[in-house]
Amino acid sequence: MTKVTMTVNGKTVSGEVKGNTLLTEFLREDLRLTGTHVGCDTSQCGACVVHVNGEAVKSCTMFAAEADGAEVKTIEGMANADGSLSVIQQAFQDYHGLQCGFCTPGMVMSAAALLKDNPKPTEAEVRDYLEGNICRCTGYHNIVRAIMAASGQDVPAVAAE
């Protein structure tokens, strides 16, 4: 067992992990932060995306021990301090950017990473950035609309309409 200490959503946390404990297991099973989802467990689907030191990563494809000393942010850390939804989360609600909701935590975390680097993306850039996030309900159009809205841009009339 290895001792790890990291900052998760602004709070310092510690735990004992095995060498093969994935970051997603540490978040979900040790810290009980179950908002981070495990969809495929093969780094395809992106439901497990969290931010490590500000960068989007698939937490099913990183060991907890590798996050020792890191700043980690999960979907539980996305809301505003007063508990209201962040701009991106609110946009997902306003534009019906979720159906079953399983992929949503990863979608929101990827969207936040995109908008940090590229605050006014084009629709094509949004779609390109989300290539590692799969929505099994195929609800992509409204997810793209939500992210465009969250970036303060006009929501495009997407191809499906």
Partner 1 sequence: MYSFDIQRPTSVADAVSALGAEEAQALGGGQTLIPTLKQRLASPSVLVSLGAIAEIKGVCTGDDGALCIGGGTTHATVAKEASAYPALAALAGNIGDPAVRNRGTIGGSLANNDPSACYPAAALASGATIVTNSRSIAADDYFQGMFATALEEGEIITEVRFPVPEKAAYMKFEQPASRFALVGVFVAKYADGVRVAVTGASEDGVFRWTDAEAALSSNFSADAVPAAPSGDGMISDLHGSGAYRAHLVAVMTKRAVAAAS
* 150 contacts partner 1 (rule: CB under 8 A): no
Whichever of 15 and 90 has its CB closer to partner 1, that residue is 15
* 8 contacts partner 1 (rule: CB under 8 A): no
DSSP the chain: -EEEEEEETTEEEEEEE-TT-BHHHIIIIIS--TTS--SSSSSSS-TTEEEETTEEEEGGGSBGGGGTT-EEE-GGG-S-TTSPPPHHHHHHHHTT--SS-SSHHHHHHHHHHHHHH-SS--HHHHHHHGGG---TT--HHHHHHHHHHHTTSPPP--TT-
Q: How many chain residues touch partner 1 (CB under 8 A)?
A: 28
Q: Which of 27, 62, 78, 150 binds partner 1 (CB under 8 A)?
A: 62
Q: Which of 13, 34, 39, 68 binds partner 1 (CB under 8 A)?
A: 68
Using CB under 8 A as the criterion, which residues of the chain lie in contact with partner 1 when the complex forms? 2, 18-20, 22, 41-44, 46, 49, 55-58, 61-63, 65-66, 68, 110, 113-114, 129, 131-133
